Structure formats: structure tokens, C-alpha cells
């Protein structure tokens, strides 16, 4: 199981049959084997379902935390599409919301509280070798300011690009955030902030701490390249100067931005047909990026033969106080001094343009829209082909957009931006905006430094990298005004930059590794290409601290205490804060509520469960009324229909017909030694949706989630099982994402023998287990129930569970009417498992009240697809309908049957939407003062009518229950609360009671008693609103009371293997109920 929880080893559905056997994961995934190309297609399909950029970002991070190989394959094969969501512009929003959206930690957090013990913290990093570290203190995240530990999105994103674009192996990448506090008050006030809520450490203390971190990294990972990222202006330049000749390092904001900008300028000058020395640049902004670009332009001009003094005069800077000039020297920061030229002071950028007449303007100010129409048009007056580079990130901070620049310049501009923009059409010509994305530079520089074993990263290397990048721009690129090569070519571009870096390092004596004889081959060999993990590597022992964070049953995330982090070597692997479980629930609720689509909410909950089981159940239990429709019906119906396309991670066991004869061996792969409840399906009749094959796994998973949330069965003791015997649904056989056998369903003796092997295997492996049949087809469900109900502990929820919850609703309805059960007569629309199951339990109740069996059966009439079930049709009836084939003339139409039989209640179990139409409801009102109408089919799309229709058409007279949830309905000023006849009211309590009693079997009497116990929970206040069931918010108490009734019945009938007294049952049930918490010790199994 651990191999499927380790993103570095997990190949998911790509593991072939031999690998699954060797790794002990056979049965833990759907039986289908897919290629990597097919899995990439599945993941990109899921990505494409999302519209919100932040959702796309979170999806990609979740994919990376689940299956690293697949993540990088998706990104590498779709790099142009994925880049804006892995990094800018989306990473800006992600960093601003990093606390609220936080799900799983990546990288290391080194807190100022770790001062003096940084080496010990670094020892917790699980990988023995690191080639690249990207480090930030979060003080200047893009153009967004001080985001503290929320800035971790930047190192994570940059290193993803190191791997995707430059081929640095992900195991050799380490994102680091050093937490020295924050000066942003909104973060200190943010309950979800993940860092120290203290003012930033400054001065000597700061410098000593950063030195401890940097020296610790270099000592632990010899030869590592450390990239500084998004440090503030007050520290960035000093850190670079202090360490650039001590360790292998560079600052991407200063040097990387400079290099990619220089490459764009090379292309612009080439497009103009001029010389670099003929250009003059005016910068809007004079921080790290501005002076970094200026320095590299100067270095290039000097390399071309210009004096240093003359070269600097080619770059002019405007900061918040105006043009940087000598008369302002006293107030200038150190990094601006070289560009304080002799000139009068100029306050306004446009005035500076008019005076200096620049050929190019470069925006690095994070001031949106400062390159306005006036600025662009002035540049066009000054130049035939003006260079305009609005480089600030994210998009919201860009000095202008591509559309604005190309439109206002009438297509004359030579344009590059920091964020991506779509192509722009001006006068019929398409212009492709080049993105001056640092990802063109730093991955290749890092790869080259790695191959060379570079001692340092020099400005000349950055200049050479810029030239290598510009050389990749073709005449065809320039024809569309694009100053950079296509992003789709970025791995080839990075390889060529790397070769130039290796050559330069060797030429300058800065290489620790000898020059490769075949440089092309050496660079290629060093590039990770997302090849799948070998079986040998997948079998390697897990790294214990990581295994703890990856095991959903053990993972406490930010709730791990300081002591637990120290004991389990987790210190540094999580943000430095410790959260309560309640705060984690609040954060989860924030994430859940930002989603709008039901299927997105379903997927969110499943992802949460696969990450932290305790948090999942705590969240669901605390919000059970709100969560129920997304865990189970109606959303589970859509989820099952799309289970293949949305598949991400397996839950439960899949027993394939191909496993025939070796089922016990497959069951041995289940990691838990004890199971109390199994929910099993063969997927033939999923809700009212038909044969969904293995896509039906959503049903056992959902039901068992409710067993835990509503009935307190421990999640470790729950096992969802899908038996795959093929499918007769052609659309599934044609579905490229289908996860099961693409063969016709096995039938007859072969089917029965295989199911028997599965059931007997489960009972043998898990003695005392309760097996719940779920969504089997009519042709098998009744036979299986009859064959096994007295052999093992089992029941069929579609037949018996539905019957029990319906009977409870009828108890309440009769109570509301003030009549007796024997006075009712029920007409069913539908005569399958649910219909005959409900009828059987109604009959059992009437018999228990003293009515004869024959008379009791006459209280229930069934209509199937051929009309009223009557004796004259006996020859063609399925076995389960025979008891309800009464003596009567044939009646084809449901409404005609109503008119003849005059039912007091109609029950819909046909999965035929809208058959309880206005005519039907109004006829029921003619026949009854308080008609009972139960449209029980699921999901909502299959409901025979809605609550609004029933209450409106009946003018509020109806006694209503439905299978799916509906909102309250107001009729004539009165609010009616529709009761949902949700089986979750019954089966969790029955399962809990069976577990406590050690029940040998589940009887119909137990189901009848459960119905009565449920009905007893309905108050007069509930009935006043026409609600026939208790509030879902009370479901755990309701389940406990049902469980007590089941224990008493099991003992009374000699079906209990455990002995309880009346005095101890309450305590026994309470003790058996799982309540999610992070109490108790943490230990890997």
C-alpha cells in the first residue's frame, strides 16, 4: 500500500499485472492497466474541466503530491499550457492565499526559532543528495510585497520548472523558506497564516541566521547550487555580494531577470537591424530587477568594447522619487549609485522620456498601467520600432498589456512581458507577445552548473545564457514580433544554455568536474525525463518521516505538535505553526465553500480523505447535513458515471474475474488485519443509472464513508469491494478511461461460483464481518440474498435498507394522519429490488400487528414496465414479484391503476423521472385528505417528482419523502421540510449494532425494528413542518439508538455472539463509535 502513497514511486494504473503482483498491490487498484500516455490524457482531461486558475494550480499540486512521474509528464508534454498555472501569473494568487489553500507541505521551512539547530533540522530532509535549492524569506514575493511563509509557492514553483524545463531530477530539488517573521499586518491577523506572527528579524541577527542556513545547506549537500528568490531590496543585494564568491549561488530576481531581459533585447536589436550600442534604455523601477538588468546590459556593452562609464550612461532609472541622478546621491540605496548620472532632477517618467528619448523602456516597478497610451504613443513618436518591456509580475502588476502595447503602437512595438499574454491582431496581422519568463534561463543555468560542478555562477555566465537563448529565436519568430523561442522548445533551449554554461565554467576554471568528452551526451544524460520508477525502486523501504505524512490514516498535517515533529523527524518538513483540529476543519470549510460544482466538491472530499482521514471525518461529521449530498446521493451518481475520467486514487479492493481461483491471495493484499464491514457491488445496477461496471466503486466507498461518519464504524475496519465480471454497457467498453474488464458480463454458474469465492474469502479472512450487498442487478440480487442471508452476516441495502427507511417514513406519515397502518393501501411505481423490498417489510409489519399474510400482501400493489402486476401475468413474472401478483384484471397505465385501487400512498422506485406528474399528484389529493407520496428513486435526475412539485400541486397536503435531498418549500406562507428517505438513517446503525452484538445474521425483523427506532426519533415539531425523518444533524445519535435496538433483538433471538446486559449496552455502543481526533501517540504500523 505504501508504494501507492509515495508520489515518487507511485505509477498508479500504469503498474502492469506482474508489477502489481510483485509489489503486493493486486486488487488495490482497478484491474485495467493503462499506458503513461493514457494517464496523461486522463490528467489533462481533469485539468481541462477546471476554469478557475487557482483550481488548476491546486489540481496540479495535488497531482504532484500523488504521482510525481505523471505530474512531470503532464507538464513536460503541455508546458506552454501548464506554465501559467505552475508559476506566474497564478502562483501570485496562490501565494496570497497559501494559508487558506494549504493542503500538503513541500520543501523545508527553517524558522528563526530553529536558530542554533539548523543543521539538525536539515537532517530531516529525506533525500541524501540535493543539486538545487531555491530559497526565499518571503519579503518581496513578485510584486506583491511581504508574504512571509506564504511565499513558499515561489521556491516550489521555480523548482518544478527546474525539473520540467531543465531536467533536474525532482529528488535533487529542495525548496526552502526561511521564516524570520513578517511585517504585513493582514498576515498577522490571518487565522490561517502558517508562519511566525512576529515582526521581521533585521540586522546582524538576520544575517547570522541566514548564514547558518546557507552554510548548513552547503555542508549537508556539497556542490549544491543555491538560488536566492524574492528577498527584499534591503537584503537581496547584500546577500548576493556576500556569498556569490563563497558558494555556488545567484539571485534570480537580479541576475535571472537580467539574463532573460537581455536575451529579449538581443532579439529586439536584431529585429530592428541596429547595434546594441545604439540603444538607450529608461527603466520604470530601480529595484533588484531594474538594476540587475541594467548591470547585465552594461556588461554586454563592455564586452562589445564600450567603456564602463559610457555603458552605464545607456541605462537610466526612475524610482518612486523620479529620475535617479547625482544630486540625489545622499538618499540613494547602494544598488542605484552606479546609475546616478549627471542631470537635473526629473520627477515624472513621461518628462524623462521626452528629455532622454529612450529607444526602449523597461517596466520593473510593479505599478500596473503606468505604460499608458500616452507613454506608448510617445515611444512611437521617438522610435520607428520602440522597445517596450513591461516585466512586472503577476499580470495584475504589469505596466501594460500586450493588447494595449500592440494596439496603441499600431503593431510597431517590440514587446516582451513578465506574464503571459495571448496573441494580438492589429490590422490583420497577428503579433505573438514574447514572455520574458525567467524559466528560459534558470533551468539551463542550473543544469549546466550541475553538469560542470560549477564553483560559482558569474555575471558572464548569465550574459552567455542570454546569448544562447536569443540564438534560439528564428526569423519566423521575429516575423510575428515574438522575441523568444516557443515555450514548447524549452527543454532543448535549456540543454543548449547548459552546454554554454559548462563551456564557460571550464574556460574560466570554475568547474569541479572535467569537461565531458561528449558534451551533448553528458547534458542529455543529466536530464530527468519522467521515466517511471522501477519495481526495485518502488519496493525500497519508505522514508519513515515522509511515510507518516503520506499515510492518510496517520497524517495530522499542521496538527502535529512540536514534540511529535521532533520525535518523528518532521521538524522543518511542515510550516512552523501548530494548528488545532478545529482550525484545520475551518480551513477545510473555506476550501470547500469556494467550490461551486457538486462534482468538484465530491472530488475535493475524496482528495481530502486520501490526504488525512481524521480531518476528512471530522469535517464531515461537523457538517453532515451539508456534506451528505456530496459524499453520497445525488452527487455520487454523477461521480460514478464519470468515475474513469475523474479517477485519481484507488480506494477499496477490486476483485476481477481474472482473479478466479486466487481471490484469497488477492485479499491478503488488504493492509488492515481486521474488517468489520464490507460493502460489495458488481456495478450492474448503480442507483437508477444501470450497469456502470467498475465505475460503480463510488457506491461502496460512499456507503462506507457514511458507516463511519454516521454510525461510528472505524475507517480502518471498513472495506469497499467491487467485483469486476465485465459490463454490458457498450459506452463503457468504448470509453478510453474505463477501469474494468471490457468484456460481456459473466453469468450463470460461473458468476455464482466466483461470487461465492469472493464472499467465502472475505468471511475466512475477516471472521465476523458484515457484508452489505449493494447495487447488484435484479437478476442476481434476490438470489444472492436468499443464498447467503442464513450462511453469513449479510443484508442487501437496496432491498432491505431501502425498505427499512421507507417503512420509518410510513410510520411517521401514518402518525401524522392519525390513522392506523392497516388502513393504508400502497401502489408502487416500480417492482424491482427496492419496490418488493419495501412491500415485504410493510407486509412483515402488518403481520406483526396481527394481520394475516394474505391480507397484508393485498395492501401492496406493484406496477412494472408492463403494467399492474396481476395473476394473469404469472408466467412472465420474475420470482420476486410473485407474492404481489393479485387477482385482478390487467391494467396497463399507472394512473388507471390509481383510479381503480384508490391508494392512500404511492411509492416511486422506478427511476423514471417525472412520472408522478401534476395529474398523479392532484388525483392523489382527490382520493385522500393527506396523500402519501414517496418518490424514492436516485439520483435526483431520476426522481419521480420533486418536493416543490409535490407540495405545490397538493397545496401543502402531501406527506412526502424522497430518495434525494430537496430544499424546503413554501406554500401559502407555510414552510414544508421534505424528508429524505436516505438509507444512511438505517444501515450505519444496523452495522454498528451488528458489530457490537457480534451478530450472526441480519434479519428482516431487525430491519423492521430499525425502522421503528428511526421513526421514534421524529418529533411533533418535525411533523409540524411535514418532515417525516429526524434532522440529519442528529444522525449519530439516531444510529446509536438503532444500534441498541439491533443488539437487543440479536440477543433476544439468539443471534448475538457477544453478551451485553441492559445496563451495559449503552456504554458498549458508545465505546464502539469512532470519533475522529488527533489524540494518542503517533506510530507507523
Residues acting as catalytic residues? 632, 703
Please tell me the distance from the alpha carbon of residue 90 to that of residue 394, in angstroms, as a whole number. 8
Largest CA distance in the chain: 112
Mind giving me the DSSP string for 530-597?
-PPPPHHHHTSPPPHHHHHHH-TTT--GGGS-HHHHHHTT-TTTS-S----HHHHHHHHHHHHHT--S
Please tell me the distance from the alpha carbon of residue 369 to that of residue 350, in angstroms, as a whole number. 13
The β-bridge partners of 430 are 425
Please report the beta strands in 704-859, taking only residues with DSSP state E, as ranges in sequence order.
718-724, 770-773, 794-796, 826-829
Vertex 885, ends 879 and 886: CA angle to 5°?
160
- Are 851 and 822 in contact, with CB atoms under 8 Å apart? yes
Kindly tell me the burial class for residue 302, based on how many C-beta atoms sit within 10 Å of its own C-beta (0-12, 13-18, 19 or more).
middle
The β-bridge partners of 970 are 975
Mind giving me the DSSP string for 549-562?
HH-TTT--GGGS-H
User: Which among 845, 803, 804, 805 has a CA at the least distance from the CA of 824?
Assistant: 845
Quick one: how far is CA 1056 from the chain centroid? 43
Please tell me the distance from the alpha carbon of residue 482 to that of residue 502, in angstroms, as a whole number. 28
Backbone φ, ψ for residue 795 (5° rounding): -155, 165
Residue 316: enclosing H or E segment and its boundaries?
A: strand 315-319
User: Which among 363, 359, 402, 401 has a CA at the least distance from the CA of 380?
Assistant: 359
Please tell me the distance from the alpha carbon of residue 857 to that of residue 885, in angstroms, as a whole number. 9
The β-bridge partners of 293 are none
Vertex 478, ends 472 and 480: CA angle to 5°?
125
Please tell me the distance from the alpha carbon of residue 1040 to that of residue 712, in angstroms, as a whole number. 9
The SS3 of residue 935 is strand
Phi-psi region at 911: left, alpha or beta (left = phi > 0; alpha = psi -120 to 50): left
User: Which among 651, 752, 638, 755 has a CA at the least distance from the CA of 697?
Assistant: 651
- Are 163 and 68 in contact, with CB atoms under 8 Å apart? no
Q: Which residues contact 516 (CB under 8 A, 6 or more apart)?
A: 451, 502, 522
The string over 58-77, giving b where at least 16 C-beta atoms fall within 10 Å of a residue's C-beta and e elsewhere, is bbbbbbbbbbbbbbbbbbbb
Torsion of CA 187, 189, 192, 195, to 10 degrees: 50
The string over 158-197, giving b where at least 16 C-beta atoms fall within 10 Å of a residue's C-beta and e elsewhere, is bbbbbbbbbbbbbbbbbbbbbbbbbebeebbebebbbbbe
Please tell me the distance from the alpha carbon of residue 289 to that of residue 140, in angstroms, as a whole number. 12
Please tell me the distance from the alpha carbon of residue 479 to that of residue 471, in angstroms, as a whole number. 15
The SS3 of residue 721 is strand
Quick one: how far is CA 591 from the chain centroid? 10
Residue 250: enclosing H or E segment and its boundaries?
A: strand 249-251
The SS3 of residue 483 is coil
Amino acid at each position: 500500500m505504501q508504494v501507492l502513497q509515495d508520489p515518487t514511486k507511485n505509477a498508479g494504473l500504469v503498474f502492469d499485472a506482474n508489477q502489481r503482483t510483485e509489489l503486493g498491490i493486486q486488487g488495490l487498484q482497478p484491474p485495467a492497466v493503462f499506458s503513461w500516455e493514457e494517464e496523461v490524457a486522463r490528467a489533462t482531461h481533469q485539468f481541462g474541466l477546471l476554469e478557475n486558475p487557482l483550481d488548476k494550480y491546486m489540481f496540479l499540486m495535488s497531482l504532484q503530491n500523488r504521482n510525481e512521474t505523471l505530474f512531470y509528464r503532464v507538464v513536460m508534454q503541455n508546458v506552454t499550457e501548464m506554465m501559467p498555472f505552475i508559476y506566474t501569473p497564478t502562483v501570485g494568487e496562490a501565494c496570497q492565499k497559501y494559508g487558506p489553500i494549504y493542503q500538503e507541505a513541500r520543501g523545508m521551512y527553517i524558522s528563526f526559532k530553529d536558530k542554533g539547530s539548523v543543521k539538525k533540522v536539515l537532517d530531516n530532509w529525506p533525500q541524501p543528495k540535493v543539486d538545487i535549492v531555491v530559497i526565499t524569506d518571503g519579503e518581496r514575493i513578485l510584486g506583491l510585497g511581504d508574504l512571509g511563509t506564504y511565499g513558499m509557492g515561489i521556491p516550489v514553483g521555480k523548482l518544478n520548472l527546474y525539473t520540467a524545463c531543465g531536467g533536474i531530477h525532482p529528488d535533487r530539488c529542495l525548496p526552502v523558506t526561511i521564516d524570520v517573521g513578517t511585517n504585513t499586518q493582514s498576515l498577522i491577523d490571518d487565522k490561517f497564516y502558517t508562519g511566525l506572527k512576529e515582526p521581521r528579524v533585521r540586522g546582524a541577527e538576520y544575517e547570522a541566521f541566514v548564514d547558518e542556513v546557507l552554510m548548513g545547506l552547503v555542508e549537508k549537500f556539497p556542490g549544491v547550487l543555491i538560488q536566492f528568490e524574492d528577498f527584499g531590496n534591503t537584503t537581496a543585494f547584500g546577500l548576493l555580494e556576500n556569498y556569490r564568491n563563497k558558494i555556488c549561488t545567484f539571485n534570480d530576481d537580479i541576475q535571472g531577470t537580467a539574463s532573460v531581459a537581455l536575451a529579449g533585447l538581443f532579439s529586439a536589436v536584431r529585429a530592428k537591424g541596429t547595434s546594441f550600442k545604439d540603444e538607450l534604455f529608461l527603466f520604470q523601477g530601480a529595484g533588484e530587477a531594474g538594476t540587475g538588468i541594467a548591470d547585465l546590459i552594461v556588461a554586454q556593452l563592455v564586452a562589445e568594447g564600450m567603456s564602463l562609464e559610457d555603458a552605464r550612461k545607456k541605462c537610466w532609472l526612475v524610482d518612486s522619487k523620479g529620475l535617479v541622478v547625482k544630486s540625489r546621491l545622499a538618499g540613494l540605496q547602494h544598488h542605484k549609485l552606479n546609475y546616478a548620472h549627471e542631470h537635473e532632477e526629473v520627477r515624472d517618467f513621461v518628462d524623462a522620456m521626452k528629455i532622454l528619448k529612450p529607444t526602449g523602456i523597461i517596466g520593473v516597478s510593479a505599478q500596473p498601467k503606468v505604460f499608458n497610451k500616452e507613454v506608448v504613443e510617445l515611444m512611437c513618436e521617438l522610435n520607428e520600432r520602440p522597445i517596450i518591456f513591461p516585466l512586472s509580475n503577476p499580470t495584475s502588476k504589469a505596466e501594460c498589456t500586450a493588447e494595449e502595447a500592440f494596439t496603441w503602437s499600431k503593431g510597431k512595438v517590440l514587446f516582451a512581458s513578465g506574464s503571459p499574454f495571448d496573441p494580438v491582431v492589429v490590422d490583420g496581422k497577428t503579433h505573438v507577445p514574447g514572455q520574458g519568463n525567467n524559466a528560459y534561463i534558470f533551468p539551463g543555468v542550473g543544469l549546466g552548473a550541475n553538469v560542470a560542478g560549477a564553483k560559482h555562477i558569474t555575471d558572464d555566465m548569465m550574459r552567455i545564457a542570454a546569448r544562447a537563448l536569443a540564438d534560439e529565436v528564428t526569423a519566423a519568430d521575429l516575423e510575428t514580433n515574438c522575441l523568444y523561442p516557443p515555450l514548447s522548445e524549452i527543454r532543448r533551449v535549456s540543454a543548449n544554455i547548459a552546454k554554454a554554461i559548462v563551456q564557460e565554467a571550464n574556460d574560466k576554471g570554475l568547474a569541479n568536474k572535467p569537461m565531458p568528452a561528449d558534451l551533448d551526451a553528458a547534458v542529455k544524460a543529466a536530464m530527468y525525463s519522467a521515466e517511471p520508477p522501477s519495481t526495485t525502486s518502488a519496493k525500497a523501504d519508505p522514508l519513515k518521516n515522509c511515510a507518516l505524512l503520506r499515510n492518510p490514516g496517520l497524517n495530522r498535517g499542521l496538527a502535529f505538535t512540536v514534540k511529535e515533529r521532533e520525535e518523528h523527524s518532521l521538524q522543518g518538513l511542515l510550516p512552523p505553526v501548530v494548528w488545532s483540529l478545529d482550525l484545520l476543519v475551518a480551513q477545510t470549510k473555506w476550501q470547500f465553500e469556494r467550490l461551486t460544482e457538486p462534482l468538484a466538491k465530491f472530488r475535493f472530499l475524496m482528495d481530502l480523505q486520501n490526504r488525512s482521514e481524521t480531518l476528512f471525518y471530522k469535517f464531515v461529521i461537523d457538517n453532515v447535513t451539508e456534506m451528505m449530498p456530496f459524499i453520497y446521493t445525488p452527487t455520487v451518481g454523477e461521480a460514478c458515471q464519470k468515475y474513469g475520467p475523474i479517477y485519481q486514487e484507488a480506494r477499496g479492493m477490486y476483485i476481477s474475474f481474472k482473479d478466479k481461483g486466487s481471490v484469497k491471495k488477492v485479499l491478503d493484499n488488504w493492509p488492515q488485519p481486521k474488517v468489520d464491514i464490507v460493502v460489495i457491488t458488481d456495478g450492474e445496477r448503480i442507483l437508477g443509472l444501470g450497469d456502470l461496471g467498475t465505475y460503480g466503486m463510488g457506491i461502496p466507498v460512499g456507503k462506507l464513508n457514511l458507516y463511519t461518519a454516521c454510525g461510528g464504524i472505524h475507517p480502518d475496519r471498513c472495506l469497499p469491494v467491487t467485483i469486476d465480471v465485465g459490463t454490458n454497457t457498450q459506452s463503457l467498453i468504448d470509453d478510453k478511461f474505463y477501469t474494468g474488464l471490457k468484456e460481456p458480463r459473466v453469468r450463470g454458474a460461473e458468476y455464482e461460483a466466483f461470487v461465492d469465492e469472493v464472499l467465502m474469502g472475505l468471511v475466512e479472512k475477516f471472521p465476523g464481518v458484515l457484508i452489505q450487498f449493494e447495487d447488484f442487478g435484479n437478476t442476481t440480487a434476490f438470489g444472492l440474498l436468499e443464498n447467503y442471508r442464513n450462511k453469513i452476516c449479510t443484508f442487501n441495502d437496496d432491498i432491505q435498507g431501502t425498505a427499512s427507511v421507507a417503512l420509518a417514513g410510513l410510520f411517521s406519515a401514518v402518525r401524522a394522519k392519525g390513522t392506523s397502518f392497516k388502513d393504508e393501501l400502497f401502489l408502487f411505481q416500480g417492482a424491482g429490488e427496492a419496490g418488493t423490498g419495501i412491500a415485504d417489510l410493510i407486509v412483515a409489519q402488518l403481520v406483526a400487528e396481527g394481520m394475516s399474510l394474505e391480507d397484508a400482501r393485498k395492501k401492496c400493489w406493484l406496477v412494472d414496465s408492463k403494467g399492474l402486476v396481476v395473476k394473469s401475468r404469472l408466467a412472465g413474472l420474475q420470482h420476486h414479484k410473485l407474492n404481489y401478483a393479485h387477482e385482478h384484471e390487467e391494467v396497463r397505465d399507472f394512473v388507471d391503476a390509481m383510479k381503480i385501487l384508490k391508494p392512500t400512498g404511492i411509492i416511486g422506485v422506478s427511476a423514471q423521472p417525472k412520472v408522478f406528474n401534476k395529474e398523479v399528484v392532484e388525483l392523489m389529493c382527490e382520493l385522500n385528505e393527506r396523500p402519501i407520496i414517496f418518490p424514492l428513486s436516485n439520483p435526483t435526475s431520476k426522481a419521480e417528482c420533486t418536493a416543490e412539485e409535490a407540495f405545490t400541486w397538493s397545496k401543502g397536503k402531501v406527506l412526502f419523502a424522497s430518495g434525494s435531498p430537496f430544499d424546503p418549500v413554501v406554500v401559502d406562507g407555510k414552510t414544508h421540510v421534505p424528508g429524505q428517505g436516505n438509507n444512511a438513517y438505517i444501515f450505519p446503525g444496523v452495522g454498528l449494532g451488528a458489530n457490537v452484538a457480534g451478530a450472526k445474521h441480519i434479519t428482516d425483523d431487525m430491519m423492521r425494528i430499525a425502522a421503528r427506532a428511526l421513526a421514534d426519533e421524529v418529533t411533533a415539531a418535525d411533523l409540524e413542518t411535514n418532515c417525516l425523518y429526524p434532522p440529519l444533524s442528529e444522525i449519530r445519535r439516531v444510529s446509536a439508538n438503532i444500534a441498541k435496538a439491533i443488539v437487543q433483538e440479536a440477543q433476544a433471538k439468539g443471534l448475538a455472539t457477544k453478551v451485553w446486559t441492559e445496563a451495559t449496552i449503552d456504554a458498549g455502543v458508545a465505546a464502539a463509535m469512532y470519533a475522529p481526533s488527533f489524540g494518542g501517540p503517533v506510530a507507523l504500523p
